[in-house]
Structure 1
């Protein structure tokens, strides 16, 4: 196994184990075992478990961004851009349940709380297509006059819930239900 392959296997194993067992249930030795490498090998690529966890998040974000922005155009109407991004994100989660489960844990952990705070306050750069869209909608008075974190909650709370319920087998999302869900999210944030 070459060096890039080893790193890739470590990342894949970490994603699987953390999605299945959470951060605390994913010791480095178990990740190494699942990746088929020695425990010390992980430390050649990641200084410690915290670095592995945050790097994995960044890699997932980099993987998601091109998928949700494919076909996205800033010249389209605001509503159409909102619907595009919401639909693309929900479909990504449905098609990548391990990524979704990891991201859910990350965002509800101290790692994710600090990350979200920095993003919402504009102190961290990255894939900010949603923040830019919401900032524009607030400035143009297309969106309700509420703080940015409330827009995120209204737009993504329902989306995350239905993605989770689909992944758990409580509901089956097809294109029609996905469209209705994203429309409902739009109704929640629009003026």
Structure 2
């Protein structure tokens, strides 16, 4: 059996994401990936059992990268407005620095491959964001809400701005670019909606 080559494995993962983002899951195959990565299909099978194994591992890898970036310099003990601001800044930075990963995970979110990612997110994000919400409620910095309502109000506005940013336009603006000022303006409105 041939030894693993970390650079080759990284290239395979990157090309897999690019193909899925450009052509969707229906347009993805091991032979297409091998051609794009300039390797033989047998080389891909050194690293992955099959196509499903590759996609599942890729989903998990991107999700962990996103989680780690989102929680950088964050603590559940922080005051609510500071903690939410850090998460927004981290998420915006992640999406700007890793646009292919962002598009890839958005595509995967609506597939069966995302089930394992959902379990990991629930366990790991929940163990950090649950205490953050509870501490914020106890400090009377956040109104008590079901998690899903909180999440929708807290992060959907940011994700919509990021989508406009990647599209380069919004419904009324043919040239849209997200900047810190606009992000902070939106965050202030979100904080106002979530605070008692």
Paired with 1:175 and 1:61, the residues of 2 have a C-alpha distance of: 24
Paired with 1:15 and 1:179, the residues of 2 have a C-alpha distance of: 31
Paired with 2:24 and 2:131, the residues of 1 have a C-alpha distance of: 31
Q: Which has the larger radius of gyration?
A: 2
**1:179 has 2:184 as partner:** yes
* Unmatched segments (≥5 aa) in structure 1: none
Alignment of 1:57-76 (within 5 A): 57-76=59-78
Cα deviation, 1:16-36, whole Å, max 9, x if unaligned, reads 111222222212211221111
Deviates most, 7-16 or 68-77: 68-77
Q: TM-score, normalised by structure 1?
A: 0.82
Structure 1 residue 131: Cα displacement:
4.2
Deviates most, 139-148 or 171-180: 139-148
**1:156 has 2:155 as partner:** yes
Paired with 2:163 and 2:180, the residues of 1 have a C-alpha distance of: 16
**1:112 has 2:111 as partner:** no
The one of 101, 104, 125 equivalent to 1:99 is: 101
Alignment of 1:75-90 (within 5 A): 75-90=77-92
Cα deviation, 1:86-122, whole Å, max 9, x if unaligned, reads 1210222123211110111122223335643x357x5
User: What's the secondary structure of 1:144's corresponding residue?
Assistant: coil
* Unmatched segments (≥5 aa) in structure 2: 170-175
Structure 1 residue 156: Cα displacement:
2.1
Structure 1 residue 166: Cα displacement:
0.2
Paired with 1:51 and 1:17, the residues of 2 have a C-alpha distance of: 16
User: What's the secondary structure of 1:70's corresponding residue?
Assistant: coil
